[in-house]
Structure 1
Amino acid sequence: MSLVKSIVQDVQHLLIIVYSTFTELSKIQQFLTILAIPFIYSLTWQFFYSLRKDRAPMAFYYIPWVGSAVTYGMQPYEFFENCREKYGDCFSFLLLGKVMTVYLGPKGHEFVLNAKLSDVSAEEAYTHLTTPVFGKGVIYDCPNWKLMEQKKFAKVALTKESFIRYVPIIKEEMIKYFNYSFKGNSGKIDVLKAQSEMTLFTASRSLFGDELRSKLDASYAEMYSDLDKGFTPLNFVFTYLPLPNYFKRDAAHNKIAHTYLDLITKRRESGKIEDRDLVDALLKNSIYRDGTRMTDREIANLMIGVLMGGQHTSSATSSWFLLHLGENPELQEELYQEIIKVLGDKKDLTYDDLQKLDLVNSTIKETLRLHMPLHSIFRKVTRNLPVPNTTYIVPKGHYVLISPGYTMINERYFPNANSFKPHRWDEIKSIDGGISLPATNNGGSDEQIDYGFGKISKGVSSPYLPFGGGRHRCIGEPFAYTQLGTLLVTYILNFKWSSKCPPVDYTSMVTLPVQPAIINWERREKL
């Protein structure tokens, strides 16, 4: 006890000396001292962290708490490559107070996407991002088993029979849009704005029916854009802040949710719940295995998530392939000749026609390679997680992060990786098993697993994973190819265009073209 008492007295004496010295300083000196303390602490913490052999090396940073958020947020792929050159494929960085352990390349894909549910959690990683956007009780605001069943509920609208119906609907919506927005024989158009609206109209009508489509106008595309802007590094840390983009996000969610709720209420009151579309399917079949039923508000929230999956990914991807093709008029002509050859004398495009259009599908595939919609995928670690083939341990409470988008534009996996070359897929079609239903990114493995929404490939070690993998793999890949294929074919048959491809805007988690993104179009002469 005397030793403890002596130590306490020494500490008290030291604190008195420190306080006395501090009070003797001028006000400016006191301010600078206080300002320096977090920087000194941060540098000291980084030094001792670097001595640990059981932690992935950390990217050095100057600003406490902020860490590498600015460099990561502005140019994530460039940041990843700089870190890889210094530390290897596995490293860590500080993102607004949170430690992120990155594992680049196919081994990282396998490590994170096939991690055990008991080791990592997507729900804990994403709920503060997604719940304000999608709403309560769905996607990541519920236990994982419920999310798997929500995917199963939604898949009834993602069958081959459904896609056969969707193709003429999507084409009809596009022709209406062209007639309304593309005036005259030539002009300019903001491609991101146009594609946001066009993909919203085509996805809403095909998935949710004519009744909902009639309620939507261009303002809803803007509201979905406001929802998109809810996915930023700042939102990752702070779910709610008194900032304009937060207010717009919340207003957009409430407006869209009430529009969907009105439709649901009318369907219930009519007593005519059939099998017209996904809305009917959710009203009839959204009963969990424990016997509980989704509430109408949860169905509306799930509709927001489903439509967002079918809208923001397709709007970004279609914007990018239009911009790239605007720099490649010879490729536009090659696509035109392929489409004419497949369609022959027919006027109407069909789902079966889309399966025969190799260059069209390769163009979509190449666009997704260059511009994966989400540049980062992460999970929160729920118990200490060893990194395979290393001495590193990712402790509980930290995060693991992978970037298939980085891998897909890396020269180690794709020669001339930054060039837009759809014909590269003529030689490497086997890399992800093709796009026929069911679409797979098998990464060299044919083993399948059912997480609760149907069997999918278990292998995720492919360098090409534009739709993710594992239990959280996007179920909308076949719909995306159907929608994007119909969009591309209809554009090619109606227009020629030119453009300058802009750089990528990484300020949200969605990789969009920097504005303005303009195409100069002219109508194609009809044969």
Structure 2
Amino acid sequence: MGLLAYAGQAILAVFGSLIAAVVLNVAWQLIAPRDPTKPPLVFHYVPVLGCAVSYGMDPMGFLDDCRAKYGPVFTYPLLGRKITAALGPLGSNFVLNGKLAHVNAEEAYTHLTTPVFGTEVVYDVPNHVLMEQKKFVKFGLTTENFRRYVGLIRDEVREHMSKHVYANNTKTVSPGVDAFEASSEITICTASATLQGREIRAAMDKSFAQLYHDLDGGFTPLNFVFPNLPLPSYRRRDRAQLKMREFYISILEKRRASTDEPDQDMLTALQNQQYKTGEPLTDKQIAHIMIALLMAGQHTSAATGSWAILRLGENQDLQRRLYEEQVEHYLDKETGELRDLEYETLQTPLLNAFVKELLRVHPPLHSLMRKIISDCPVPATVGAPAAEPNAPSDFKKRTEGVEYVVPKGEYVLAAPGYSQLDEQIWGSDAKQFRTERWLEGGSKVPGEEDEGEEDYGWGKISKGGKSAYLPFGAGRHRCIGEQFAYVQLGVIIATLVRENSWTLDQPFPGNDYSTMIVMPAKPRKVTFTKRTGAVKA
């Protein structure tokens, strides 16, 4: 009895301490004078935990509620950190094009990426070294390579459908297929067959697949918040990282020892690069860059591909029109069959518009963070109330002309995914998936007049940080794999539409925010049917 009583008292003491902490935290927020140079603090009950639950469950809804209460610039606590959100295109530009003296991506992400990618690359090196490494990767992303990739990607899609969907050509209708699982398998096979090289593709069905799975276990929100816990998954992550590095290095060594002409892939491109200092990339650095390309590209592309499958399964008319567009552009009237896709002719208007709308509504990364390394002023224009017509009556008085300062050690957050669904920018149908918006009056992003444009292979879009359309980020950390992603996604969608039709087996799924990437929530099944008839791929 004495032991039970002691345990009960201990529990009561802990519970009482938690209640006291909550009460003191609430009182401090209500009573303490507010520093006008700091952004408004989002009200929260539990210290340290802060807004983790509401933000984690529905980030876009959380940001929307906070914007209505506090304006486009506000600070919220998250698991012991303070995050200042800067919403809207001006907020994205402030964060993503911030001065290196103020904002730092490396310190925001290295504790997550370095254990997975490896040392001496990406966020484990100073920014100027990362910029050189990004240039090295560009040498493997040539138009000549993209031309070769189109056929390789098509073949991988066909092989997956034959082996895993239609049971080796014995069926014409599939059982229910999980859209995300199918997209993940197609994505990693197409990426390994193209960017990664034939050795990686050959190993993808063997031990390498397990290494990938174990390493992938280190890319979760838990790892982001607590990067060094003594958990079995962390140990598997670290072992897989070492073995995967050794695997890439062994490929490099075998290629050097061979007299055969090397494949013109990313590994070959990286072997021929050297820094401005004259030092070549080491085998270890090449291996880690290859791991980074594999891991970072896989998650985002797999998620986007699954949303594409689900959207077309939901919208049979759009699926039919995409197929008819392929027939219109590629039908060989002599043979009655569709000509092969080619890089130069891959872009067709409706497919182009569908991909753009897909990335607008379903960006794989809704938010991007930077760490403040010296006190950082937030221009008054970022928090201006002019674009907040629905804000509380005292909002304009509280925020007009105010220039905030975010203290060193805190974080800033840009939310391009939020801007891409903002009704004040895109209109009342902003949250609706409507491919036609990109076919009406050109493909300009609403409100863009002074941003520079660049054609990434799917029409001109803004390349500036002030754009309301930034599915690949902006600034010095803009995704280097953007053009490859367009090629990969375009060929996958076109090949699936050419050779299959499919239907959604349940209502359209919502967003799953439990991982680092925004995925469709379960259930997310579709049923495929092979196309038959004179016109075929």
Same fold (TM over 0.5): yes
Offset at residue 526 of structure 1 (A): 3.3
Residue 326 (str. 1) matches residue 333 (str. 2): no
Q: Which residue of 2 aligns with 1:377?
A: 368
Overall identity of the aligned pairs, in %: 46
Q: SS of the counterpart of 1:301?
A: helix
Distance 1:281 1:221 in 2: 24
Structure 1 residues 185-196: aligned runs within 5 Å: 185-187=172-174, 188-196=176-184
Offset at residue 314 of structure 1 (A): 1.5
Q: Which residue of 2 aligns with 1:203?
A: 191
Offset at residue 249 of structure 1 (A): 3.5
Contact 1:231 1:509 in 2 (8 A): yes
Q: Which residue of 2 aligns with 1:262?
A: 250
Distance 1:468 1:171 in 2: 28
Contact 1:196 1:311 in 2 (8 A): yes
Q: Which residue of 2 aligns with 1:158?
A: 141
Residue 400 (str. 1) matches residue 392 (str. 2): no
Residue 82 (str. 1) matches residue 61 (str. 2): no
Q: SS of the counterpart of 2:432?
A: coil
Q: SS of the counterpart of 1:214?
A: helix
Structure 1 residues 110-509: aligned runs within 5 Å: 110-183=93-166, 184-187=171-174, 188-217=176-205, 224=212, 227-228=215-216, 230-270=218-258, 274=262, 276-285=264-273, 287-345=274-332, 346-355=338-347, 357-389=348-380, 390-415=402-427, 416-427=429-440, 429-431=442-444, 444-446=450-452, 459-499=464-504, 500=506, 501-509=508-516
Q: Which residue of 2 aligns with 1:437?
A: none
1:129–1:48 CA distance, 2 compared to 1 (3 A): farther
Contact 2:145 2:264 in 1 (8 A): no
Distance 1:444 1:249 in 2: 45
Amino acid of the structure 1 residue aligned with 2:417: G
Amino acid of the structure 1 residue aligned with 2:38: R
Number of residues paired by the alignment? 486
Q: Which residue of 2 aligns with 1:106?
A: 89
Residue 514 (str. 1) matches residue 521 (str. 2): yes
Distance 2:304 2:37 in 1: 40
Structure 2-normalised TM-score? 0.85
RMSD of equivalent CA atoms: 2.5
Unaligned runs of 5+ in 1: 1-25, 434-440, 449-455
1:167–1:29 CA distance, 2 compared to 1 (3 A): closer
Q: Which residue of 1 aligns with 2:388?
A: none
Greater shift, 316-325 or 261-270, is seen at: 261-270
Contact 1:228 1:510 in 2 (8 A): no
Distance 2:178 2:301 in 1: 16
Q: Which residue of 2 aligns with 1:71?
A: 54
Offset at residue 382 of structure 1 (A): 0.9
Offset at residue 228 of structure 1 (A): 5.0
1:27–1:295 CA distance, 2 compared to 1 (3 A): closer
Structure 1-normalised TM-score? 0.86
Offset at residue 244 of structure 1 (A): 4.9
Distance 2:213 2:60 in 1: 23
1:31–1:291 CA distance, 2 compared to 1 (3 A): same
Amino acid of the structure 2 residue aligned with 1:505: D
Unaligned runs of 5+ in 2: 1-8, 333-337, 381-401, 455-460
